[in-house]
Chain A
C-alpha cells in the first residue's frame, strides 16, 4: 500500500498534462465564429430553451400595435410614465424569482408588498421615523413574513400554495387593522415620493449611462481575455462585442430619450431619467450577482433542479428553501414601497387584487419556469415591462376594464403554455 499510492499519484500528475489536450480534444472549448454561436442559439431554441425571446418579440408586437393604433402611446410623457408604472411590477417579479427557482410559489408576495409599504408609511406618518429607518422597518417586516412562510413550507412540509394563500388572506386583514377600514395613509415623504415623480439631472444621467456601458464592456472583455488565456470555454469575440454594442444602444438610447424635454408646457421642462429606474437597475444587478456568481445562488438552482442531489451534495436544503421565501418577501416589501411612491398612498387594498398575478405573470413571461430550476433576475424586468405595456397601452386602445383583465389573463396563460411546451421539448431533446 505505502509504495502504491505515491506512484499512482505521480502517474495521475503526468497523465494530467499529457492527456489534457490530446485526449480531451473532443471538448469544444469555444464556438469560434459568430455563425457557430448563432447555430448553437437556434439549436437551443429548437430544443425548447426559449429564454426571453418570446417576451421580447411580444414586446415588439405590442409596441407596433399600440404605436400604430393610438396617437398617445408613443408620446414621450406616456412612455416615461410607462417605465415608472413598470418598476414596481418588475421588482415584485424579481422578488418571486428565487421562490420560482426552487419550484415553489408565493401567492402572498403581493399583499406582503402592501404590508411592507403600510409599515413604512405608518412609521413615517405616525411615528415620525426618518425615511431610511422606515424603509428598513418595512423590509424587516417583509423578511419576518418570509421566515414564517419558509419554515411552514420547508420544515412543516405544508405545500407553499396553501401556506401563501393563507397569508394572502391573513395579511389583508393585518393591513385593514394597521390602516383602518376605508382609510389610507398618505405616502408623500419627499425622498421616497421623489422616486416616482422626480428625475435624475440629465448630466448625471449621461455620466452614469456611459459608466455602466464602460464597466460592462470592460468586465466582459477582461473575462473574455482571461478565459482565452486559461483555455476555458468562451464565446466568440464578435459575440462579446455584439452584446456590449446592444447594451450601449439600449442604455444610451434610453438616456438620450429621457434626457430630452417631454413636457407639454414649455415653461416647465420635464427631463431626465425617473429615479425609479436606477433603483430597479441596482436591484437587478444585485440579484443577478447573487443568483449567478455566488454559491448561495448556485445552491438555489440545485434545490430547484434536484433537491435530493442537493441534499446529498451537503447543501442544507431546508435553509435554502427558507431563504428563498425570506428573499422574496423582503424584496416584495421594496416593490410595495415603490408602488406606494408611484400612487402617493397606501390603502388596505394595496398589493391585493391582481398585483401578485401580474408579478408571477411577469416572471413567467420573461422566461422563468414555473417548474423550478430555470430563471434569471432579468426575466422579471423583461416580463414586467411587457405587462406594464399591456396595462398602459390597452386602455388607450379600448377604454374598457374588461378588455384589460381578459388580455392580461390571456397573456399569462400564453406564457405558461410556452413554459410548459418548452419543458416538454427540453425533456424530449435533452437540451
Chain B
C-alpha cells in the first residue's frame, strides 16, 4: 500500500473531564476515499476538527506526507492543502458560482478584480471534475439545486490544488439523483489522486465509494479496514457495539468509559 498522505497517531482530545478521543490513529491515502463512520457522539466531528486545525490535540502526532508537522490553526492546515467542506456549505446565495468559488481569494490585476481569469479557472476546475449539470458559471448560487450547491462547494475546495478534501455528510440532504452526482464526484476526486475523507451515516453511500472504512466507537477506532473485507452488517455492528465477529475492539473496550 502507498504511504499515507495524512496520518494521525495516538491522538487524544479532552474537553474538560470528557475524554472524547482515545489514542485515535487515522490515515488518509492518496487516490482513496476513506469513510469515517460512527454513531452520534462517537467523535467524528471532533476528529475532523482536529484534522482541520480548529481544535488542538492533547497528545498525538500529525504527519503530512510522512513528515511531522506543527499544526496551530486552520490556516496551517489550509496551507498544507487540506480543505473541509462542511455540511452547511457556506455559499453566498446572492453571488454567482465564480464569485463564490473565489470568495476571499479573488484574483486581481492591480486593485481591479480579474473576472476573466477567475471565470476561466472556475470553468476549468468544474470541467476537470466533469461537472455538466450547471447551466452557466455565471448563474447565482440561489438558483442551484442542493446537489449542484454541494458540487460548487467541493469544486471550491479543489480549486486551490488541494491534496485532501474532507466532506462532512455531503449527501445528507440530497435526493436520489443528486446523491448519485455527488458520489460520482467524490469518486472522481479520488481518481485524480486526492485523498478524500467521507463522513457519512449512509452505509449504501459508504460501500459504494469508499476504499477504506474507519469506524469510531466511543472515541476509539473500532476498526480501520478495506471496504472489500467487511460486510454491511459488520460495519453496523462496529458502529453500534464497537466490535463484530472478525473486527473491532478487544472485549475490554466494551467496559471502557468515556
A binds B: yes
Q: Write the nearest CB–CB distance from A287 to chain B, whole angstroms.
A: 15
Tell me if B142 and A19 are in contact (CB < 8 A).
no
Tell me if B137 and A313 are in contact (CB < 8 A).
no
Tell me if A27 and B123 are in contact (CB < 8 A).
yes
With CB as the reference atom, state the residue of chain B lying closest to A7. Answer: B193
Q: How large is the interface on B (under 10, 10 to 19, 20 to 34, 35 or more residues)?
A: 35 or more
With CB as the reference atom, state the residue of chain A lying closest to B103. Answer: A313
In whole angstroms, what is the CA distance A305 to B89 when docked?
A: 13
Q: Is A232 an interface residue (CB 8 A)?
A: yes
Q: Is B66 an interface residue (CB 8 A)?
A: yes
Q: Is B113 an interface residue (CB 8 A)?
A: yes
Tell me if B192 and A27 are in contact (CB < 8 A).
no
Q: Write the nearest CB–CB distance from B207 to chain A, whole angstroms.
A: 24
With a 10 A CB-CB cut-off, give which of A1, A19, A23, A314 has the most chain B CB atoms.
A1
Q: Which of A1, A7, A233 contacts B119 (CB 8 A)?
A: A233
Q: Which of A1, A12, A15, A374 contacts B3 (CB 8 A)?
A: A1
Choose the segment among B43-51, B92-100, B196-204, B209-217 that binds chain A (4+ C-beta atoms closer than 8 Å).
Answer: B92-100
Choose the segment among A213-221, A267-275, A292-300 that binds chain B (4+ C-beta atoms closer than 8 Å).
Answer: A292-300
CB 8 Å contact bits of A293-311 with B (1 = contact, 0 = none): 1110011011011101110
Given A1-B65, A23-B127, A295-B106, also A309-B90 (CB < 8 A)? yes
Q: Write the nearest CB–CB distance from A216 to chain B, whole angstroms.
A: 17
With CB as the reference atom, state the residue of chain B lying closest to A295. Answer: B106
Q: Which of B92, B108, B124, B163 contacts A305 (CB 8 A)?
A: B92
Q: Which of B92, B120, B135 contacts A306 (CB 8 A)?
A: B92
Q: Is A20 an interface residue (CB 8 A)?
A: yes
Tell me if A309 and B30 are in contact (CB < 8 A).
no
Tell me if A15 and B128 are in contact (CB < 8 A).
yes
With CB as the reference atom, state the residue of chain B lying closest to A302. Answer: B92
Q: Is A98 an interface residue (CB 8 A)?
A: no
Tell me if A233 and B136 are in contact (CB < 8 A).
yes
**Chain B contact residues, majority secondary structure:** loop
Q: Write the nearest CB–CB distance from A41 to chain B, whole angstroms.
A: 14
CB 8 Å contact bits of A132-146 with B (1 = contact, 0 = none): 000000000000000
With CB as the reference atom, state the residue of chain B lying closest to A373. Answer: B94
CB under 8 Å from chain A, chain B span 160-205: 163, 192-194
With CB as the reference atom, state the residue of chain A lying closest to B117. Answer: A230
Tell me if A298 and B103 are in contact (CB < 8 A).
yes
Q: Which of A4, A20, A306 contacts B2 (CB 8 A)?
A: A4
Tell me if A230 and B120 are in contact (CB < 8 A).
yes
In whole angstroms, what is the CA distance A76 to B200 when docked?
A: 71
Tell me if A295 and B113 are in contact (CB < 8 A).
yes
Tell me if B92 and A373 are in contact (CB < 8 A).
yes
Given A23-B127, A302-B92, also A4-B193 (CB < 8 A)? yes
Q: Is B111 an interface residue (CB 8 A)?
A: yes
Which A residues are in CB contact (< 8 Å) with B5? 1
Given A4-B193, A24-B127, A24-B132, also A373-B93 (CB < 8 A)? yes
Q: Which of B105, B119, B128, B134 contacts A26 (CB 8 A)?
A: B134
Tell me if A5 and B193 are in contact (CB < 8 A).
yes
Q: Write the nearest CB–CB distance from B54 to chain A, whole angstroms.
A: 11
Q: How large is the interface on A (under 10, 10 to 19, 20 to 34, 35 or more residues)?
A: 35 or more
In whole angstroms, what is the CA distance A27 to B138 when docked?
A: 9
Tell me if B124 and A11 are in contact (CB < 8 A).
no
Q: Is B218 an interface residue (CB 8 A)?
A: no
Tell me if A12 and B30 are in contact (CB < 8 A).
no
Q: Is B31 an interface residue (CB 8 A)?
A: yes
Which A residues are in CB contact (< 8 Å) with B134? 26-27
Tell me if A29 and B116 are in contact (CB < 8 A).
no
Which A residues are in CB contact (< 8 Å) with B111? 294
Tell me if A20 and B124 are in contact (CB < 8 A).
yes
Q: Is A243 an interface residue (CB 8 A)?
A: no
With CB as the reference atom, state the residue of chain A lying closest to B3. Answer: A1
CB under 8 Å from chain A, chain B span 8-66: 30-31, 65-66
Which B residues are in CB contact (< 8 Å) with A27? 123, 126, 134-137
Q: Is A426 an interface residue (CB 8 A)?
A: yes
Tell me if A306 and B90 are in contact (CB < 8 A).
yes
With CB as the reference atom, state the residue of chain A lying closest to B190. Answer: A8
In whole angstroms, what is the CA distance A374 to B144 when docked?
A: 18
Given A4-B30, A26-B135, A233-B136, also A430-B143 (CB < 8 A)? yes
Tell me if B104 and A313 are in contact (CB < 8 A).
yes
In whole angstroms, what is the CA distance A5 to B120 when docked?
A: 24
Which A residues are in CB contact (< 8 Å) with B86? 312
Q: Write the nearest CB–CB distance from B55 to chain A, whole angstroms.
A: 16
CB under 8 Å from chain A, chain B span 59-109: 65-66, 86, 88-95, 99-100, 103-106, 108
Pull 28 A–B residue pairs with CB atoms less than 8 Å apart, ordered by A.
A4-B2, A5-B163, A5-B193, A15-B128, A16-B128, A19-B128, A24-B132, A27-B134, A27-B136, A28-B136, A230-B116, A232-B119, A232-B120, A233-B136, A233-B137, A293-B112, A294-B112, A299-B104, A302-B92, A305-B93, A305-B94, A309-B100, A309-B103, A313-B105, A314-B105, A373-B94, A431-B142, A431-B143
Closest 6 CB pairs of A and B: A8-B193, A313-B104, A305-B92, A305-B94, A373-B94, A309-B90
- Residues of A bordering B, CB below 8 Å: 1, 4-5, 7-9, 11-12, 15-16, 19-20, 23-29, 226-227, 230-233, 293-295, 298-299, 301-302, 304-306, 308-310, 312-315, 373-374, 426-427, 429-431
- Residues of B bordering A, CB below 8 Å: 2-5, 30-31, 65-66, 86, 88-95, 99-100, 103-106, 108, 111-113, 115-116, 119-120, 123-124, 126-128, 130-138, 140, 142-144, 163, 192-194
